């Protein structure tokens, strides 16, 4: 079913459960070429969430700032090609939420282990904030924190579970959001972790 969680945000509960094994296999293929790593924030802090990317561009962070780039800073190689199953899943979900012609050039893969969290932030490094972001959740559940357009406003919480997909667009695209520290657990597909995959369209050609 499709739940409107905001004027431009739609949750498809359990929508990718049947593709879980194939999606995790695709993630494993990507991280065999571009391993999970803990990026450093511009302020010098190590992120608890480990990240990798596939697609034409990847999101990176270091002392110089946040940005998208076509090469993996660990190897100097281009990011792995986005597996077809990932691209097809993202495009199909965007279309179901009313966003046609979604052509993501970035697929950011986040790995959360027990205690890992993501502080409240906005996703605004993409040149094109008119394109939505599609997110897929796999493995252990997480508490998602969802605020407004200002950091200081009230927040709501909801659980993102294995198999959930969310499309975030329109006026919800720039909302502050984060993830509470992951609770320890065991999942048959991902063992001790949660995998979150986000698809973005930067519109950047370099």
- Residue 173 CB, nearest approach to ligand MD3 (Å): 5
Q: Considering beta carbons, is residue 76 or 90 the nearer one to ligand MD3?
A: 90
Residue 176 labeled ligand binder:
no
- Candidates 96-104, 106-114, 121-129, 159-167: pick the segment binding Fe ion (CB under 5 A): 121-129
**Quick count: other Cβ atoms within 10 Å of Cβ 135?**
23
Which residues of the shown chain bind ligand MD3 in the complex (CB under 6 A)? 108, 110, 118, 123, 133, 135, 166, 168, 172-173, 175, 177, 179, 196, 198
Q: Considering beta carbons, is residue 19 or 123 the nearer one to Fe ion?
A: 123
- Residue 21 CB, nearest approach to Fe ion (Å): 26
The binder of 135, among Fe ion, ligand MD3, none, by C-beta within 5 to 8 A per type, is: ligand MD3
Q: By CB under 5 A, is residue 126 in contact with Fe ion?
A: no
Tokens of 188: 């048959």
Cα-based distances in Å from 189 to 20, 23, 37, 195, 196: 8, 10, 21, 10, 13
Q: Left if phi > 0, otherwise alpha if psi is -120 to 50, otherwise beta: which for 130?
A: alpha
Compute the distance between CA of residue 20 and CA of residue 15 in angstroms, rounded to an integer.
10
Residue 90 backbone dihedrals phi, psi, to 5 degrees: -65, -40
- Residue 177 CB, nearest approach to Fe ion (Å): 6
Residue 196 labeled ligand binder:
yes
Nearest CA to 196 among 157, 161, 172? 161
The binder of 196, among ligand MD3, Fe ion, none, by C-beta within 5 to 8 A per type, is: ligand MD3
Q: Considering beta carbons, is residue 76 or 177 the nearer one to ligand MD3?
A: 177
Q: What is the total count of residues that contact Fe ion (CB under 5 A)?
A: 1
Residues 6+ apart with CB under 8 A from 75: 34
Q: By CB under 5 A, is residue 123 in contact with Fe ion?
A: yes
Cα-based distances in Å from 173 to 56, 68, 74, 151: 22, 18, 30, 14
Please write down the HEC assignment for all residues of 148-160.
Answer: CCCCCCCCEEEEE
Annotated binding site: 59, 66-68, 110-112, 121, 123, 125, 151, 177, 194-200
Q: Which residues are annotated as a binding site for 2-oxoglutarate?
A: 110-112, 194-200
């Amino acid at each position: 079913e499709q739940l409107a969680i905001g004027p431009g945000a739609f949750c498809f509960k359990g929508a990718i459960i049947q593709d879980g094994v194939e999606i995790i296999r695709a993630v494993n293929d990507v991280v065999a070429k571009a391993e999970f790593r803990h990026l450093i924030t511009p302020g010098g802090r190590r992120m608890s969430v480990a990240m990798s990317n596939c697609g034409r561009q990847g999101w990176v962070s270091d002392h110089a700032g946040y940005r998208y780039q076509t090469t993996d800073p660990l190897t100097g190689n281009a990011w792995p090609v986005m597996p077809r199953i990932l691209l097809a899943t993202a495009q199909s979900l965007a279309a179901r939420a009313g966003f046609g012609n979604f052509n993501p050039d970035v697929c950011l893969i986040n790995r959360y282990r027990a205690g890992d969290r993501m502080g409240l932030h906005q996703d605004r490094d993409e040149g094109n904030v008119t394109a939505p972001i599609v997110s897929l959740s796999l493995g252990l559940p997480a508490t998602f924190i969802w605020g407004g357009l200002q950091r200081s406003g009230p927040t709501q919480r909801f659980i993102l579970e294995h198999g959930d997909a969310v499309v975030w667009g329109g006026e919800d695209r720039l909302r502050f959001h984060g993830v509470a520290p992951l609770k320890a657990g065991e999942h048959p597909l991902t063992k001790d972790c949660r995998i979150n995959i986000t698809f973005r369209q930067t519109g950047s050609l370099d």
